Amino acid sequence: MYKLKIISSTVRPGRKGPIVANWITEIAKEHGFEAELLDLGEISLPLMNEAIHPIMRQYEHEHTKQWSEKIDEADAFIFVTAEYDYSYPASLKNALEYLVHEWAYKPAGIVSYSAGAFAGVRAVMSLKSDLLSLKTVSLSEMVNIPMLHQFINEENSFVADERLSKAATLMLDQLLRWTKGLKMIKDDK
């Protein structure tokens, strides 16, 4: 079974990212992944505070060593991201920049959302560019959720419509395919 890390990127009070991340985590488990949700709001990585560049993998702080271990053991990722000021949250940028090698040769799906009609697609474009520099393969198949509040019920759970459910299935099918293929490349280092 492939290890999938689902990273919820928002950290501010009242955030909705974990609700969306819980939804995609459950679907990923049904797809045969060993899925683990990593909530950056709970992990609370400080602003990058390692003295040596992460390319050297000489981590000084325990929080960095733990983050490195979690990301290194992954075979694939799903990033759940809101759109903040036409990009993805600084908390995710910080989490990405803590590491270099641990992200490489692994596929990534993206679930984006916004309160408005854009569905987080501007955040996706920024995130995809940064993932490329880390040698992480971001899929073209993704889930983009517009008007997020319409999908959150009174119990504070995410309820997808047919379009979002189909998009999630398509993304997870492709993520599994890419995970199988990239695992050979990653293991051949």
Question: Tell me: the pLDDT tens digits for 93-134?
Answer: 999 999 999 999 999 999 999 998 889 999 999 999 999 999
Instruction: Report how far Cα 61 is from the mean position of its chain's Cα atoms.
Output: 23
pTM: 0.96
Give the pLDDT band (50/70/90) at residue 188: confident
Give the closest residue to 23 by CA, choosing from 127, 155, 175, 180.
155
Average of pLDDT values for 39-64?
97
The pLDDT of residue 186 is 77
pLDDT by residue (tens digit) across 141-178? 999 999 999 999 999 999 999 999 999 999 999 999 99
The pLDDT of residue 189 is 62
Instruction: Report how far Cα 64 is from the mean position of its chain's Cα atoms.
Output: 18
Q: Express as a percent the part of the chain with pLDDT over 90.
A: 92
Contact in structure between 37 and 4 (CB atoms under 8 Å): no
The pLDDT of residue 187 is 77
**Class of the 3-187 domain?**
alpha beta
Residue holding tokens 């390692």? 50
Q: β-pairing, 34-39 with 143-145?
A: unpaired
